[in-house]
Amino acid sequence: MFLKRGLMEVFCKLLPSPAEGNPPDFFRGDDESGDPIHFDPDPGKRILAHTFKVNIDPFIGRLGVFRIHQGTVSKDSQLCIGDARRPFRVSHLLKLQGGETREIDAGVPGDICAVAKVDDIEFKSVLHDAQDDSEIHPRSIQLPTPMQGVALKAKSRGQEQKLSDALSKLRAEDPSLVIEHNHAQNQTIMRAVGDLHLRFLLEGLSERFNVEVETSPPKIAYLETIQACLLYTSPSPRDATLSRMPSS
């Protein structure tokens, strides 16, 4: 206990204040050409927070992890997601501690909190409590481009819907993951950043969601190339009549 107290005193005296740090960029408008937003880490002002991670917990459900930049988020707070007009009520405000969660009464600027079972919350969602802040969004993050893909097929018949639900949950957690369906080859393709990323996702399908899949290289639809174009002119009514007349 003494070591913890002494360490916290060192942090308070020597480490920089969060109020002196470089705040993330927020803009008001459709894109980054809009007006930049300045906010203060003041717990007394209106709420501004942004979601930087989404977890799908097998017991809790969809868990949106966010950082509070301004205002105080407490139980029963009414928060809006982005430009949504209908707010949701924070029934349980959670604090993450490793793999565990504990319920807290309130969170202030600088705190990392989470809310559960809010289906509309996504990666980069902005949380606020004022309708005037509905157009605020953070700076876009340049995500890595997926470089490797694999075609997936459920091993057991009847598990196609279960596989689709599991892929949707993985996509919600990982914004760099791309799921696409090749209609020409009737294949579901999962694209990831690299081989390690791909193996991690395949293990998650098996261990977390109990979905066994068969993998194969994605098929390529070979299409014919148009070499030349011919201009077709429809015959006139007189030419069509002459072509049907018997020759003498």
Per-residue pLDDT, 191? 93
35-57 average pLDDT score: 87
Per-residue pLDDT, 167? 92
Per-residue pLDDT, 244? 53
**With 70 as the cut, is the pLDDT of residue 6 above it?**
yes
**With 70 as the cut, is the pLDDT of residue 19 above it?**
no
142-161 average pLDDT score: 88
Residue % of the chain over a pLDDT of 70: 86
Residue % of the chain over a pLDDT of 90: 30
How does pLDDT run across 88-141, given as a tens digit for each residue?
A: 999 889 998 877 888 999 999 888 999 998 888 988 889 998 888 888 888 888
Rounded to two decimals, the pTM is 0.75
Per-residue pLDDT, 75? 87
**With 70 as the cut, is the pLDDT of residue 213 above it?**
yes
Per-residue pLDDT, 233? 63
Per-residue pLDDT, 238? 57
Residue 14 token pair: 């020597």
Of 7-21, 87-101, 169-183, 192-206, the poorest mean pLDDT is in 7-21
How does pLDDT run across 54-70, given as a tens digit for each residue?
A: 988 878 888 999 999 98
Per-residue pLDDT, 14? 81
Looking at every residue in the chain, the average pLDDT score rounds to 83
Per-residue pLDDT, 76? 86
pLDDT, greater one: 191 or 57: 191
| Band of residue 231 on the pLDDT scale cut at 50, 70, 90 | low
72-100 average pLDDT score: 88
CB atoms near residue 73 (< 10 Å): 23
200-227 average pLDDT score: 86
